[in-house]
Structure 1
Amino acid sequence: MTSRLLFLLLLGNMFCEAFGTNHFILCENSTIHPMCDAGWIIYVDSADYGRHDSTTCSFGRPPSELQNTSCSTLADVVAENCTGENSCSITASNDVFGDPCVGTFKYLDVTYECTFWFLP
């Protein structure tokens, strides 16, 4: 986890405490299980599936699968499956997100926070 800054956000009658921002990149056909400490829930800030450079998740891949660096799709299914949960499972695959660039090896780029929501 990056910085462990504590901040308090007032939203109407709800408060949210969050500790830092988590970021991960998951190569195509891989699975990850993000989780928060007990009593905390995941809030997905952003999720993008595709390719934006030729170096990320490139090990062992032929150059032809890394050339298209301007393809991606918003991965809303990550927020739908993980936001509000203590943990979840995410697989970076065309079966889950569709194929925004056929023939290109893709990766999932996700930023999330662990938050604690409570009513005062």
Structure 2
Amino acid sequence: MVVDELDERLDRAFAALADPVRRALIARLSRGEATVNELAEPFSITKQAVSRHIQVLEAARLITRSRDAQRRPCHLNAAALEELTSWIDRYRLVAEQRHRRLDAVLESMKEQDK
């Protein structure tokens, strides 16, 4: 995979998740599939607005939609979330290693002061 492709996908995904309504939609879909009507229920916005949020999440590949007769349920794309988590974890691990090294240095300085 080309790095630029990954960067573009990450940009779209993080931009999509910047909105609290879209994060709430992702949270709801983490419990199972839902239709636009079901997703729109808890919000005081129009179904059209929820549909636009869903389109942004689809464009970011965070959710997918399928067809079941007349129903068009939305599904969470776990693989896309895993990609985000992996990217975050890479930098979290680097930061944790730096903190452990700093802790070791501080501990050795403390021992020298005794």
> TM-score per shorter chain, which class?
under 0.3
For the pair shown, the structure with the greater C-alpha radius of gyration is 2
More helix by share: 2
* Greater RCO, 1 or 2 (C-alpha within 8 Å, sep 6+): 1
User: TM-score normalized by structure 1?
Assistant: 0.26
User: TM-score normalized by structure 2?
Assistant: 0.27
More strand by share: 1
